[in-house]
Amino acid sequence: MQDSIVRLKFNETQILQMQCTNICKLNYPAKSGRYNTPKLALGFIPVILHFRSRRHHQEKFFLKVCGIVVICLLLGSCTTLIDWNFKGKLDPSQGNIMIAELKETVTVRRDAYGIPFVEAKNMEDMAMAVGYVHASDRLAQMIGMKLISEGRLAEMAGPAVLNLDIYMRTMNLKGAAETLYKNVNAENLQLLEFYSKGVNAYLDQHKDKLPPGLALAGYKPEAWKPIDSVKIFALVNFGLSFNLHEEIAALNIAQVIGAEKTAWLLPIYPDEPIAFDEATKLKGVDLNKAAGSVAGIAELQPLLSSVGLGGTAASNNWAISKERTKNGASILCNDMHLPLSMPSMWNMMHIRCGSYDVAGMSIAGAPIVVAGYNGHIAWGMTMVMADNQDLFLEQLKEVNGKLHYLYKGEWLPVTEHKEVFNIKGKSPITMTFYDTVHGPLINEALKQEPIHVAQPKSIDLPYGVALSRTVPTADDDSMNAFFQLSSAGSVDEAIPIMKRIRAIPLNMVFADKNNIAWQVIGNYPVRAKGRGLMPSPGWTGEYDWTGLLDTNVLPHLKNPSAGFIGTANHRTVPKDYPYILSSSWYWPERAERIVQMASATDKHTTKTSMDMQLDTYSLFVPKLKEVILKGTLAADIMKEISSWKDEKKAAAAHLALTMLQDFNGDMKADSKEAALVGAFLNCATKNIFLDELGPVDSKVWKSFLIVNNESYNATCDHLLVRGDESPFWDDINTPEKETKAQIIARSLADAVAFLESTSGNDPGKWKWGAMHTYTWETDTSQMAPHLGFIERTALKSLWSYFNRGPYPASGDIFTLNVSNYMMGKDFNTWLIPSMRMIVDFSQEEPMLAVNSSGQSDNPSSPHYDDGIKAWRDGKYIPFPFKDAAVKDQYQDVMQLNPSAIRQ
């Protein structure tokens, strides 16, 4: 959940700006982020697409646009007027609002960052108020998430997102939500119902003043229903599943270099062997045919990523026992890593109703705090990196006009159902969807033009691609457990609650004043054979799933003798653990750094916890130094450099070695050595793999960048672990066979040459933060290259209005203060700690937290970007629980009152 929430936001100005593009000329920096940067939003795209699909607006709107153009001419810039226009649309933070169905008055306080404190006298009013507040802050986001989960986004955004709708209908999140919803108990169902009433109260009051994106898209939101909150929960769960994209990428790579060689590019962990068995299962499979079968899915990847379904995220959490703290009470820390976005997806909130008192990170659309503190316990989460998706290749043919698939020697008919798609500006279409015993055929839903029914036309069909993924079981109690977790009074009370959360695969770390604990939760498949790292042939049945792991065998820990617990998406189980939780663990260095810093003192405080979260020391650097500067390989590297006749090249390599020798591993923004390490990893990635997988714009190289940057990767594995036995330690463009030492030596020289070409010849002026930066961009800005000329031009003109940055970035993939970049592509940061939270139970007010941007998604709001500086400066915001501190912290007061009739 922490690692993938879909955000949806719009802004009227993108329409207006299209009318004054030639007037407003602002700078538009190059697109930052990774090739398929997973974003947690769809953003302003529906407004832009609305402009394209509806050229004839109402006369009133036309006159408004003309008026704005004239004023822009007078002002010389549209941005000032747009900012003024949106300031006028902001809801007040003080005053009184009538809501008919409230029983009693609810107080909504806001602090200097716009963070709300909601206090009600009964649970029904509390839920209604939270719904109202969520809608007032994030209505467009909520509606977008709902439509995405239902596969109905084209109803608002038009045909450009139809393939996304087809994909989501294939995944059937609606069915998953219905399973979860039917298990919600009466008490929690009532909360969902009153939450919906709060959302709908806001909708009723804003029928003629909806948020700009919804209004200009011409979309009238339906009334919010209780199950809609569960749909968002199901969408969040689905967004955490990412192995699908890795398997598709692996298939694309294997098509070019073969399955066995591809296995070298999919290392599991530094101490584990290459999984050649995964390649063996593809022997006899026509890889060209198989890769062609997933072409439509691969092409959909950028759109999936833009709405947060790319499946990539991370996070840190740890808990320090009272024995290792200065003040004799536990400390819990959590920072959830998500793609860098504007705004952040988190909606921070404090909710109080009698003894129910909880603060933390909420999801707009559901009355649940997913990570936080309730006065008794604190809890945070990280991704397990669970492999709960497998692709199965299916042999298909038609029998008497009906599609069949081969399974265990028999040709079985697919099950099928039809879905109707309503598309803005187009006539409805009907499509047929197919399922095998392994799950839905996802390529059948995507391979043809959207206006056609996806149905095979001949016997000589490509492979079908069926997706097996974990879905809620009939007795799944996850929703009730999440509700109950916020009320848990101790670690012992929380443990059985945690175990009931099966719908989301997470590392839950939690604590009370005297105890700390860790519990892995979620559903994990048991496979008859294989580990699901590559697609499996479905016709034999030998790689089928046979069930789910029992909750009792999932890893857990309470009050360990070490005095701390920490997870960082690393392999949290021994390599001989008898069950497969993942084949896509993250790099181990962040987890190792948690151990190192947690073990360094038995006097931990809030300050040492902050130091850990803000730490930029990379433990990969000393490992790299050990390999390159010591031992046999180091001698071979020096021998190679000494053999070069190019003195400048040799001098560059020697400079790189000297700088590396002097480097302490702190990836600070102003460090020249950090810049060298980053440049070296980039050059090494290309020098090791690009000759086989290039050119850089090829499908196979782009696929490699996916698998090389979503988990422990081939670059690091080859540098630190694999020797000349790997076929990639060779440049296939030369007649001789190169060695590891030769390619590393070349990469050292290339790194210096790169820095000289980009930062000048004086190493003293090289800075990691000059090449490695943060840029807070809206999802639409990141999608700009895929949009039309008019839309791109408008976005360029308004770039500085919507986006912030660039700013120098410290850290990298390996640091606790993570700042992931696309190794082998560029240095633009795409993954950051989207929030930070510390709960020190020894303090009078234990909880501190910070968001990575502002609370608002309106660029004209003072709370759109005020959190960025606090986040960059390492500042934390208090979440007080004591009445006097609450009143001091939250000084803007809004009263939500029952209607005069009810009074």
Q: Which residues belong to the active site?
A: 315
Tell me the DSSP string of 210-224.
--HHHHHTT--PPPP
Q: Please state, in angstroms and rounded to a whole number, the distance separating the CA atoms of residues 642 and 760.
A: 25
Q: Is 246 exposed, middle or buried (0-12, 13-18, 19+ CB in 10 A)?
A: buried
Residues of the chain by 3-state class (helix, strand, coil), percent to 5: 40, 20, 40
| Residues contacting residue 170 through CB under 8 Å, at least 6 positions apart | 433, 440, 441, 442, 445, 446
Q: What amino acid occupies position 807?
A: Y
Residue 116 has φ and ψ, to the nearest 5°, of -90, 145
Give the largest CA-CA distance in the chain: 92
3-class SS at 768? Answer: helix
CA atoms of 46 and 726, how far apart (whole Å)? 47
In degrees, rounded to 5, the angle at the alpha carbon of residue 555 between the alpha carbons of residues 551 and 558 is 110
Rounded CA gap, 833 and 836, in Å? Answer: 7
645: phi > 0 → left, psi -120 to 50 → alpha, else beta; which? Answer: alpha
Give dist(CA 509, CA 451) in Å, integer.
48
Structure tokens at 55: 């050229």
Q: Which residues pair with 831 in a beta bridge?
A: 339, 820
* Cα–Cα distance for residue pair 317/836, rounded to 1 Å: 10
What is the distance between the alpha carbons of residues 265 and 268, in angstroms, rounded to a whole number? 10
Is 345:338 a contact under the CB 8 Å cutoff?
yes
- Strand residues in 687-808 grouped as ranges (E): 773-776, 804-808
Nearest to 750 by CA among 822, 646, 643, 639: 646
Of 816, 810, 814, 873, residue with least CA distance to 668: 810
> Which one-letter amino acid corresponds to residue 196?
S
CB atoms within 10 A of CB 286: 14
Neighbour-count burial of 272, counting CB atoms closer than 10 A to its CB (0-12 exposed, 13-18 middle, 19+ buried): middle
**Using CA atoms, how far apart are residues 781 and 792, in angstroms rounded to an integer?**
8
